[in-house]
Amino acid sequence: MRIYAKVKSIGKRKPVLELQPFEIAPAATLRELVTQIVQQNVQSFNEEKPFTRYLLENDIETAYEQGKVGFNHKYNDQKQSEQPAIEEALLAFEDGIYKVLHGEKELTTLDESLHINEDDIFTFIKLTMLSGRLW
């Protein structure tokens, strides 16, 4: 089943990134959905092997529109582990670091029942922590 994830970050000039497709097995809860998305992202991160050291003009234009032009160089070639990444993502949700919307409905608990249809859109909103000093 294919779903789409959209990421937003409060306070950014361009808060919406493009829809990212994910092929998932049917998930009954938000916990299962987040687990599958994290597993796919970790696997993609670990398998990524850059083969060029230059940017094509099309790559530069795309990166410019997204707000950052760079080589996406990884400074650490160490493979990442799935389980700690999953645990961190679930803990971050429980701690209120990000919110998840299924269409227009906010998902408030990890074990809430989900009814996912083909091509559904899930929006992940990263919340910004405010800090400051009292003068």
Q: What are the domain boundaries of the chain?
A: 2-126
Contact status, residue 12 vs residue 125, Cβ threshold 8 Å: no
Average pLDDT of the segment spanning 37-56: 73
Distance of CA 3 to CAs 7, 122, 127, Å? 13, 8, 23
Q: Would the pLDDT of 111 be above 60? A: yes
* pTM for this predicted structure: 0.70
Euclidean distance between CA atoms 39 and 9, whole angstroms: 22
Q: Would the pLDDT of 52 be above 70? A: no
Helix (H, G, I), strand (E, B) or coil at 15: coil
Q: Which of 38-52, 57-71, 116-130 has the highest mean pLDDT?
A: 116-130
